[in-house]
Amino acid sequence: MSECICGRRLMHDCCKEIARLEAALAEAKKQRDHELSRLAACGVAAMGNTKEAVVQRIDRDNPYWSASYGDVCASVDREMDLRSDLAALKASLPGMIAEAWATAIQIVWEWTYQKRVGGADIALIETMKERAASERARRIE
pLDDT digits (tens, 9 = 90+) for 86-120: 999 989 888 888 888 888 888 887 776 666 555 55
Amino acid occupying residue 10: L
Quickly list H helices, 48-115: 51-55, 67-115
Domain range summary for the chain, segments of one domain joined by +: 13-140
How many residues are listed for the chain in this entry? 141
Terminal CA-CA length for the chain: 92
Tens-digit pLDDT profile for residues 4-26: 666 665 567 777 788 889 999 99
- Does the pTM of the predicted model rise above 0.85? no
Q: Which whole-number Å values give the CA distances from 33 to 39, 51, 114, in the listed order?
A: 10, 29, 79
Q: From the centroid of its chain, how far is CA 106?
A: 41
- Residue 137 CA to residue 132 CA, distance in Å, equals 9
